[in-house]
Amino acid sequence: MHSVKNIITACGANLHSLNLASNKISCDGILLLLEELTTNQYLKHLDLGVYKTSHFRNDIGVQGAKALANFITRNRTLECLDINDCNLSPEGGEAIGMALAQNHSLKQLKIAENDLCSEGAV
């Protein structure tokens, strides 16, 4: 993830879309990524989901989902977020759901295949 962080830094204002789908990113990886993206004011599309026919996924888990929720509450430019099949769990889904109430820029959220159950969907 350090290489990706360097690319994000180098791109700066030119980075509007970032596709990291199906890269086996773990909770630790998502924390490093979000640390760098927190200061990015230009990113409009972030794809952490699963790429079409890939057998790989990003496994960000509950702690990664909570960090993503924190990012969502502070970010004012992201319009599209794809977190399909990232192993968020009900607790992670709940954190993201609460964060959405504080974000007014996000227009599209893809969150399928995360085993949110009823409690994570509320």
Backbone angles phi, psi at 104, to 5 degrees: -115, 0
Per residue in 1-48, pLDDT tens? 778 888 898 998 899 999 999 999 999 999 999 999 998 999 999 999
Confidence (pLDDT) at 12 = 86
- Domain borders along the chain are 2-121
Q: Within a 10 A sphere around the Cβ of 82, how many other Cβ atoms? A: 21
In angstroms, rounded to a whole number, what is the distance separating the alpha carbons of residues 98 and 77? Answer: 18
Total-model pTM: 0.92
CATH assignment, 2-121: 3.80.10.10
Secondary element (H or E) of residue 114: none
